[in-house]
Structure 1
Amino acid sequence: MLMWGINVSIIKILVEHFTPVTITACRIFAAAITVFLTLGILGKVRWPRHNEWIYIVGGAFLSVVGHHYFLSEGLSKTTAANGGLILGLGPLLTAILSMALLKQRPTKIRLLGFLLGGAGVSFTVLAGSGGVTAASTGDFNVFLSILSQALSFIVIKKAAETLDPRLLTGYMLLIGSVILFLISLWKEPWGLESLTNGSPAVWTAFFFSAILATALGHMVYNRAIGQIGAAEASIFLNLNTFFSLIGASLFLGEAILPAHFIGLLLIVPGVLLGSGSLEEWMLRQRRKLQQR
């Protein structure tokens, strides 16, 4: 979450120096190469089975193409602080989708969490930006980004039953980078020329984003989804929101407004309630009392 939070500011820097889709395709491709090199050393690379390709392609479109396309487009039109706070909806969206797709009925505690989290993000983005009229298309693109990622978590959890999530990550990144590159050729025909605009510092940021945040970050997180579940793993995305705010302040000089902190005060309990963490803690305490 630390790397992903800082990565929001780094992506903001990258899309200001290069065309958004082209640099995203290059970044994802570099991440894919990193994943396969790492898994090759570990002896974990194999050719997927026929039925596993469905999850790989679906995950590539959701987790890579949809998430990273809308994220880069969104951050080119809004602030890193706003982007990070909207990404804070990830846990709640994942919990909602998990319950909807698994036909689970949400409890009253979880419903309260959804309301608190949604109110926190809405308040922070709108009030922190100066009101409803200041909400930009960039904010909406970032929301589509986190919605795509939340859907991908469900796919990853299902695929993890037979396929190593780390290997799944590599295939998704590779396929997704190719699709993004084809989109960039259509949407940004001058995109490859923009790659000459980067300074050594900007390219250093690029490789940090590709290798640490995107490659290793997704490998670790997708493995966690396979081990503990989509909704359970998504609770930690709340830390992404916190670190993205800190990163925006440190690296981009963006102001942290009082509205941001008020929003976080709503988001944190919203995530704890909506993701079922509080209910799980209460259940554990009840079991301890029964065992005494």
Structure 2
Amino acid sequence: MKKTTVYALLVAVMAMWGLNIIWLKLLVNEFAPVTMTAFRIFVAGVAVLLFLSVKGVVRKLTFKEFSFICVVSLFNIVGHHYFLSVGLTNTTAMNGGLILGLVPILTAIASLFLLKVKFSIMKVVGILFAFFGVSFALVAGHGGAISTSYGDVQIFLAAVSQAISFVLIKKASTNIDARLMTGWLMIVGSAGLFFVSLAVEPQGLAMMKTDNYLIWLVFIGSALLATAFGHMTYNYAMQHIGASESAVFINLNPFFALISSYLFLGESLYITQFIGFLLIVFGVLAGSGAVEQWRRAKVTYKI
């Protein structure tokens, strides 16, 4: 497949993930957030494994592989989606999308502690710019005053959980197909989320009953399109153009979240949020090492 086609797929996935923040905001307002998320992730996991079974990729996991998936799912699914679902009940979709744009930077920071990766001056500058950008993203009130809410903190913890899971996946040596790992992470993680929901949302199952067919369409769209298809496509792209080049497209996620929140939820759009978005993009490109990689590739090409 041509690179231009892969790039187009990645842009489509980022648009879908940005829109998914809106879908999740609608869903957590209708259902008990953790219970709904457990079912949503389970549906996505089943869809992924069914697709892979048709492709002949599904196989039994070894005990070591299953143990690895259980550990990673605590961060990648349980931690990330728990904080994301409850966080969106306490903050705007715009702020949620912008904060999630920090995932590449947080992954780089987690690599510093877990993988002992050395930081250059460029990476440190990028990290500072990214976090400074988030401060502009957290806008509240008509006056555009900078502030943070409890929901913003929860979304940040969701981003931290996902970043840690990415580093754990990179650190571990495993022969599991990335797509197969995605499916099993969703199945195992959704089971963990369901048990958490029983503790924190005793009436969660009863709240899943609704005659609102539109909200069920949103549920299916989020599960199948954004979560199942989105992650499958992103993993496919990584196999073709590499993890670093694919990660650059994550910068589009906050942009699509901003636009979608304004168009579909009617949330106020401030100039400080666009300033924050631009700072986050620069910070991620510099802090994740993308700028340095491009510079090295350019020098190598000239030589």
1:149 and 2:158 are equivalent in the alignment: no
The 10-residue stretch of structure 1 (275-284 or 6-15) with the greater mean CA deviation from structure 2: 275-284
Partner of 2:201: 188
The 10-residue stretch of structure 1 (51-60 or 153-162) with the greater mean CA deviation from structure 2: 153-162
TM-score (norm 1): 0.92
**Which amino acid in the other structure matches residue 248 of structure 1?**
S
1:200 and 2:228 are equivalent in the alignment: no
Structure 2 SS opposite 1:46: coil
**Which amino acid in the other structure matches residue 136 of structure 1?**
S
1:56 and 2:65 are equivalent in the alignment: no
CA offset at residue 228 of structure 1?
A: 6.6
1:166 and 2:175 are equivalent in the alignment: no
Structure 1 SS opposite 2:209: helix
Distance, in Å, in 2 between the alignment partners of 1:231 and 1:285 is 16
Q: Is the 8 A contact 2:115 2:171 kept in 1?
A: no
Q: Is there any run of 5+ residues in structure 2 with no aligned partner, and where?
A: 1-13
Partner of 2:263: 250
Q: Which of 199, 217, 220 lines up with 2:230 in the alignment?
A: 217
Q: Which of 282, 290, 299 lines up with 1:269 in the alignment?
A: 282
Distance, in Å, in 1 between the alignment partners of 2:255 and 2:141 is 15
Q: How many residues align?
A: 289
CA offset at residue 231 of structure 1?
A: 5.5
CA offset at residue 143 of structure 1?
A: 0.4
1:114 and 2:159 are equivalent in the alignment: no
Distance, in Å, in 1 between the alignment partners of 2:268 and 2:136 is 16
1:9 and 2:17 are equivalent in the alignment: no
Q: Is the 8 A contact 1:113 1:274 kept in 2?
A: yes
CA offset at residue 200 of structure 1?
A: 1.1
The 10-residue stretch of structure 1 (216-225 or 52-61) with the greater mean CA deviation from structure 2: 216-225
Q: Is the 8 A contact 1:55 1:155 kept in 2?
A: no
Distance, in Å, in 2 between the alignment partners of 1:95 and 1:16 is 33
Distance, in Å, in 1 between the alignment partners of 2:33 and 2:171 is 31
CA offset at residue 229 of structure 1?
A: 6.4
CA offset at residue 74 of structure 1?
A: 0.2
CA offset at residue 153 of structure 1?
A: 1.0
CA offset at residue 12 of structure 1?
A: 0.2
Distance, in Å, in 2 between the alignment partners of 1:155 and 1:219 is 19
Pair 157,226 (structure 1): closer, same or farther in 2 beyond 3 Å: farther
Q: Is the 8 A contact 2:244 2:290 kept in 1?
A: no
Root mean square deviation, CA, Å: 2.0
Pair 229,49 (structure 1): closer, same or farther in 2 beyond 3 Å: farther
CA offset at residue 234 of structure 1?
A: 3.3
**Which amino acid in the other structure matches residue 257 of structure 1?**
Y
Partner of 1:99: 112
Partner of 2:3: none
Partner of 1:78: 91
